[in-house]
Chain A
Amino acid sequence: MLIIGACFVLLALNLFGIGRNAVSILLFLSLTLLNSINDRINNSGDEMSLLLMGYLSIANTFSYFTLFKRKPLPPAKEKLYNLISNLAAYSIVINLCLAYFFAGLFKLLDPYWQNGTSLHYFLNDDRHSILAAGGKYVQFPALFLYIVNYGTLLLEVSFPVLIWYKKYRNWVLLLCFLMHLGIYTFLMVYAMSLIFVLQYGMFYSNEEMLALSEKIKAGFRRLFSFAIK
């Protein structure tokens, strides 16, 4: 209970940016301790959350939405802090690429993924699949199963390469989003799907995000132009 209480307090402080990186690092250590005590009831979503927590604890995530504005450091220290922050951001991105790549690679070693029948068994796994509730037998057309099976393998293995090209980035992220939406909806794997999708924003630059935000704002202004005087 002491560890859980400490986690809650540190979470609250971290939410408002109080204590900055010191609190973040303490939070990461407490969550790691909590995770190691309860490692039998954790899943991939919990593992990924911890990794993200670890990387973000050393990054500069306190420029916005904090209670107290961050005072800039002397130039040389600020440069070093920026370097650490950038390395943390690259770590998040590299971690996601590796997660997808190795997930695809390990799937390729499974004979059922190789022959295209794996999805059939996952959709009939009553522990995860909502379609197989109560022991129902689920049958989908073979063509659909093959497309999704081999499409998943191709997507995961090619993710670390294609994601770095602007031409393919949006398509790759959209397909990954649809894959996770399917997992979330049909296979009852919630935390992992959310955590993975949350990281997609890291592949867009600050300028691209600001441009998108301006587009959305302009869209809302047009939509609600009747209310603007």
Chain B
Amino acid sequence: MQSPSPAKYKIVYQWLSYCLLFGFVYYWLFSIGLIFFNKSIHKAAPGQTAFYYAFWRQNWRLFAFTKVYNRELNFIVRDKSDLAKADTVDLVKYFIAEKRHKAPFNNYDDGLDQMLYWIMNGLETQLYQKQQQLKEQFPGRPDSFYMRQSNMLVLSDSLHQDPLQNLTSFGKFVLKRMNKDTVGKEFQLLLRHKFIPPQKPPAGSVSNGDERTIFILPFKPF
């Protein structure tokens, strides 16, 4: 059998080059399109979008959102027999301190901090959704009303307890690391936002100075 002539190979390679160039241009147009017209492209090409996100996920909102408060997640542990004996650990500060201590080789602690961050986001999203429902049902009430009611709704929502359970697990994990005894004790979770001056908590919110209370988990036994 005779081998194909060089001219045929040349055409094949030429067309391959055109395909590569086309693919290159298409890839960049698709990437820019996803940044600007995310929902439209999702709708128009769901398969391609899923494939793209699987391999080339990009999010360039680097420091784009300014956070005007710091979060505190207080894990309060007290003796059931002597309620005055209580210990408080701020889980957020704990992991930040661990991260700082081991910087810049702090990937593990950074990972734990990130996980805690996402779980807290999950809880806050739940609270926010409940508050939006309450605002529709009961408009014009003070912020403290929505905060307390949304807290109760989240606590009674037995189907979506994952963020709370995960935060409790984080607290127990930290106590174990700190070699703190939990026998005969009960715990409480308190989520707060500490506003950075000159920002202040919104009027009518459950706040104390620059700190606004977002969520309170009543005391529970270990």
Q: Do these two chains interact?
A: yes
Give the B-binding residues of A (Cβ under 8 A): 32, 36, 38, 40-44, 47, 50-51, 54, 76-77, 79-80, 83-84, 87, 90-91, 94-95, 98-99, 102-103, 106-107, 109-113, 117-118, 120-122, 124-127, 130, 132-135, 137, 184, 188, 190, 192
28 A-B residue pairs with CB within 8 Å: A41-B111, A41-B114, A41-B115, A76-B9, A76-B13, A79-B13, A80-B17, A80-B20, A84-B20, A87-B21, A102-B35, A103-B64, A110-B66, A111-B66, A112-B68, A121-B66, A126-B70, A126-B93, A126-B96, A127-B71, A127-B113, A130-B100, A132-B70, A133-B97, A135-B70, A135-B194, A137-B196, A188-B100
> With A135-B194, A190-B104 given, is the CB distance from A113 to B66 under 8 Å?
yes
Listed stretches B39-47, B54-62, B129-137, B179-187; interface member:
B54-62
Which of B10, B60, B112 has the most chain A CB within a 10 Å cutoff? B60
Min CB gap B114→A, angstroms: 5
Of all A-B residue pairs in the complex, the 4 with the closest CB atoms, nearest first, are A112-B66, A106-B64, A41-B111, A102-B60
Listed stretches B24-32, B79-87, B214-222; interface member:
B24-32
Cβ A127 vs Cβ B54 within 8 A: no
Cβ A99 vs Cβ B60 within 8 A: yes
B197 within 8 A of A: yes
Cβ A98 vs Cβ B66 within 8 A: no
Residues of chain A contacted by B117 (CB below 8 angstroms): 127
Q: A83-B20, A188-B103 given; name 4 further pairs at CB < 8 Å.
A: A76-B13, A80-B20, A94-B28, A127-B96
A130 and B106 CA atoms in complex are apart in Å by: 14
Looking across the interface, which residue of chain B has its beta carbon closest to that of A123? B196
Residues of chain B contacted by A102 (CB below 8 angstroms): 35, 60-61
A76 and B62 CA atoms in complex are apart in Å by: 42
A139 and B114 CA atoms in complex are apart in Å by: 27
Residues of chain B contacted by A117 (CB below 8 angstroms): 66
A32 and B54 CA atoms in complex are apart in Å by: 8
A122 and B63 CA atoms in complex are apart in Å by: 8
Residues of chain A contacted by B114 (CB below 8 angstroms): 40-43
Residues of chain B contacted by A90 (CB below 8 angstroms): 24
A80 and B16 CA atoms in complex are apart in Å by: 8
B65-77 CB mask vs A (1 if < 8 Å, else 0) is: 1111011000000
Cβ B55 vs Cβ A54 within 8 A: yes
B99 within 8 A of A: yes
Residues of chain B contacted by A36 (CB below 8 angstroms): 54
Residues of chain B contacted by A124 (CB below 8 angstroms): 70, 196
Cβ B58 vs Cβ A122 within 8 A: no
Looking across the interface, which residue of chain A has its beta carbon closest to that of B17? A83
Residues of chain B contacted by A192 (CB below 8 angstroms): 62
B92 within 8 A of A: yes
Residues of chain A contacted by B37 (CB below 8 angstroms): none
Cβ A107 vs Cβ B197 within 8 A: no
Contact residues of B between 1 and 31, Cβ < 8 Å to A: 9-10, 13, 16-17, 20-21, 24, 27-28, 31
A112 and B63 CA atoms in complex are apart in Å by: 11
B173 within 8 A of A: no
> With A102-B35, A121-B196, A126-B93 given, is the CB distance from A54 to B64 under 8 Å?
no
A40 and B111 CA atoms in complex are apart in Å by: 8
B138 within 8 A of A: no
Which of A41, A77, A135 has the most chain B CB within a 10 Å cutoff? A41
